[in-house]
Amino acid sequence: MDLFNVFSKKNKNSKNIAKERLKLVLVHDRSDLSPKFLEMVKGDMIRVIEEYAEIDEEGLDIKLTRMKRESDDMPVSALVANIPIIKMKDNIK
């Protein structure tokens, strides 16, 4: 599954959208991570990043996907985060 194709505008018919959604569901099932766990990770990531930057939580997108390791091409689960930064904070501790 090519992650960038999920977000492209070409090939956006309902068959392809359903196929990509099914792939994401399978990744979640195979990774054995619960939605509750992913929400906890998301919350922790937001708290840490907000110490250093102001972020757009509406645009926040955190997903679990499958990728191949560069070292041996074995498929592994990967947490992919797209976190829009509005501005960096000046008063970093």
Residue 65's domain comprises 3-88
pLDDT-above-70 percentage for the chain: 71
The count of structural domains within the chain is 1
SS3 56: coil
CB atoms within 10 A of CB 31: 17
pLDDT score of 27: 60
| 27: number of Cβ within 10 Å | 19
Residue 78, in any domain of the structure: yes
Residue 81 inside a domain? The answer is: yes
Inside any domain, residue 13 = yes
pLDDT at residue 24, rounded to an integer: 64
Q: Whose CA is closest to 38, among 80, 5, 82, 83?
A: 80
The overall pTM is greater than 0.75: no
Q: What pLDDT shows up at residue 26?
A: 61
Is 84 within the bounds of a domain? yes
Local confidence pLDDT in tens for the 93 residues of the chain: 444 454 444 546 777 777 777 766 666 556 666 778 778 888 888 889 998 999 998 888 887 777 888 889 888 777 888 899 999 988 765
Is 93 among the domain residues? no
